[in-house]
C-alpha cells in the first residue's frame, strides 16, 4: 500500500477528513485529490475548497449531485417500498453507492490508484463504500485510516490537528455535537454518545429538521402527489424535478412533525446499533406510493414485491447496490411500475399521515364488481361456494385425522 501515488479522498472539510488528508500525505507520501458532494445535506460545501487549497491540493472536486441522487438512487429504491427491519428507510445506505461511483470516476479522471474514506472500522459505511467501489473497479486500492491509525478519540484528532496547524472550528474544540450525524436529501441520522444506551430517550433539542408532533400546527395540511411509472413527478399539480420533489416533501413533513424514528438495528458487521432518524419526505412518499400501487398493481404482483422487498432492502443496507442480484431485482421491480400512474391525496397532521384518496387511469379497482349495492350481475356470488369448498378440501381431510 505504501506504493500509492495518488488517492481520491471523500472529503467534507470537517475535523475527521481534514486530519485524514494530512495523515495521507504524511503516511503515504502521496498526492491527494478531494471530492466533496452536495447530496442535499443542507450545509455549505464551498468552504471545503479553501480548506483543501490551504493543504496544498491542486485537484479539488466539489459537485452538486442532488438531482442524480434523487433520480437514480432514491426513486428506484422507493419503487420497491424498501425498508430495513420493518422501519428504516435506508437514508444513509442509499447515498453510499453514488459517492463510491464518483470516487471511482474521479480516480479514473485524475489517474489516481486509490480512494480513501473516513468511515470507522465498526460501522456499515466502510463496507458500503468499498463493496460498491470494488464492483466498479476491481483493481482500485482502498485506504481506510480508521482501520490503520491510532487516532481513535476526538482528543487525539484535535492534538494531531493542532500539531499540524490544521484549522479546527470552535464547535470541535468545545466538543461539537454529542452525536455522530449524517445528512442528505432523504434523511438525517444521529448516533453515539447519549444514544448509545438504548434506554435513553432522545433529547428534544437533538432533532434538527422536524417539529415535534406536539408543537406542529393545529391544522391539517393536505397535498396531492402525482406518479408516473412509480415515480413522483408533481406535488399539488406542479411538476418538479426529482430533487425538488424531496425538498418540498421534506418541508411539508418537517413542519408537521412527520418522519422521526428511534431504532435499534442490526449492522452488517455483526453488532447492534441504536440510531435516530428524521425522514420527513420519505415517510410521506412511502405512504403515497403504496396507496397508488394499491389500485394499480395486480394482487399477486403486489404480494411478490412485498415478499422480495426485505431482500432488496438488505442488499442496499449491506452495500450491494451494484451487485447483480440487486440489479436483477430492480429490473423486476421497475417492470411492475409500468402502470403505477395517478394521483394520491394525503393529509398531514401532528406526526401522522392519512390517505384521503387515490385515482388512476390504470386503476384495477372495479366499482361495479366491488360494490355492496346491486352489481347488475357483474359477480355471481354463488361461485364463491365452489371456491370455498375446493380450498377447504385439504383442511377437511386433515380435520378427520385429528
Beta-ladder partners of 262 = 276
Task: Collect all residues with Cβ–Cβ distance below 8 Å to 93 and sequence separation of at least 6.
Answer: 84, 124, 128, 316, 317, 319
**Residue 142 belongs to what H/E stretch?**
strand 141-143
Q: Can you tell me the distance from the alpha carbon of 34 to that of 12, in angstroms, rounded to the nearest whole number?
A: 9
Other CB atoms within 10 Å distance of the CB of residue 208: 14
Question: What letters, b where the CB count within 10 A reaches 16 and e where it falls short, cover 275-286?
Answer: bbbbbbbbbbbb
For residue 93, the number of C-alpha atoms closer than 13 Å in the C-beta half-sphere is 23
Report residue 80: phi and psi, to 5°: -90, -5
Task: Assign 356 to helix, strand or coil.
Answer: strand
CA distances from residue 156 to 15, 52, 148, 177, 246 in whole angstroms, order as listed: 11, 21, 14, 17, 39
Known active-site residue 139: no
Q: Can you tell me the distance from the alpha carbon of 316 to that of 302, in angstroms, rounded to the nearest whole number?
A: 20
The answer to whether the CB of 37 falls within 8 A of the CB of 61 is no
Known active-site residue 16: yes
Catalytic member of 96, 102, 326, 358: 96
Other CB atoms within 10 Å distance of the CB of residue 394: 9
Distance from the Cα of residue 170 to its chain's centroid: 30
Known active-site residue 255: no
Q: C-alpha cell of 316?
A: 442496499
Residue 164 is classified by DSSP as T
Catalytic member of 38, 125, 182, 231: 125
Catalytic member of 180, 294, 347, 363: 180
Catalytic member of 12, 16, 38, 93: 16
Known active-site residue 113: no
List, by residue number, the catalytic residues: 16, 96, 125, 180
Amino acid at each position: 500500500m505504501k506504493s500509492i501515488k495518488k488517492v481520491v479522498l471523500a472529503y467534507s472539510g470537517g475535523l475527521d477528513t481534514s486530519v485524514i488528508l494530512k495523515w495521507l500525505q504524511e503516511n503515504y507520501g502521496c498526492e491527494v485529490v478531494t471530492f466533496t458532494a452536495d447530496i442535499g445535506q443542507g450545509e455549505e460545501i464551498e468552504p471545503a475548497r479553501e480548506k483543501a487549497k490551504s493543504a496544498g491540493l491542486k485537484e479539488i472536486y466539489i459537485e452538486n449531485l442532488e438531482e442524480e441522487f434523487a433520480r437514480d438512487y432514491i426513486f428506484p429504491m422507493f419503487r420497491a417500498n424498501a425498508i430495513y427491519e420493518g422501519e428504516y428507510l435506508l437514508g444513509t445506505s442509499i447515498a453510499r453507492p453514488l459517492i463510491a461511483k464518483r470516487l471511482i470516476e474521479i480516480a479514473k479522471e485524475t489517474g489516481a490508484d486509490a480512494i480513501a474514506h473516513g468511515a470507522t472500522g465498526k460501522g456499515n459505511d466502510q463496507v458500503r463504500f468499498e463493496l460498491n467501489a470494488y464492483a466498479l473497479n476491481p483493481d482500485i486500492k482502498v485506504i481506510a485510516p480508521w482501520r490503520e491509525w491510532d487516532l481513535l478519540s476526538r482528543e487525539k484528532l484535535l492534538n494531531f490537528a493542532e500539531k499540524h496547524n490544521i484549522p479546527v472550528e470552535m464547535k470541535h474544540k468545545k466538543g461539537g455535537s454529542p452525536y455522530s450525524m449524517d445528512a442528505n436529501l432523504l434523511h438525517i441520522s444521529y448516533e453515539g454518545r447519549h444514544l448509545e444506551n438504548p434506554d435513553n430517550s432522545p433529547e428534544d433539542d437533538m432533532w434538527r429538521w422536524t417539529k415535534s408532533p406536539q408543537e406542529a400546527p393545529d391544522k391539517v395540511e393536505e397535498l396531492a402527489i402525482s406518479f408516473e411509472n412509480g415515480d413522483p413527478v408533481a406535488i399539488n399539480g406542479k411538476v418538479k424535478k426529482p430533487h425538488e420533489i424531496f425538498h418540498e416533501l421534506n418541508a411539508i413533513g418537517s413542519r408537521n412533525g412527520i418522519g422521526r424514528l428511534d431504532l435499534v438495528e442490526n449492522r452488517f458487521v455483526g453488532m447492534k446499533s441504536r440510531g435516530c432518524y428524521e425522514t420527513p419526505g420519505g415517510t410521506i412518499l412511502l405512504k403515497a406510493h403504496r396507496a397508488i400501487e394499491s389500485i394499480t398493481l395486480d394482487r399477486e404482483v403486489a404480494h411478490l414485491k412485498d415478499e422480495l422487498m426485505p431482500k432488496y432492502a438488505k442488499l442496499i443496507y449491506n452495500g450491494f447496490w451494484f451487485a447483480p442480484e440487486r440489479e436483477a431485482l430492480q429490473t423486476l421491480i421497475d417492470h411492475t411500475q409500468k402502470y403505477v400512474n395517478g394521483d394520491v391525496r394525503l393529509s398531514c397532521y401532528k406526526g401522522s399521515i392519512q390517505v384521503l384518496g387515490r385515482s388512476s387511469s390504470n386503476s384495477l379497482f372495479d366499482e361495479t364488481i366491488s360494490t355492496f349495492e346491486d352489481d347488475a350481475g357483474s359477480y355471481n356470488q354463488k361461485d364463491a361456494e365452489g371456491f370455498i369448498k375446493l380450498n377447504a378440501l385439504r383442511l377437511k381431510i386433515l380435520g378427520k385425522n385429528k
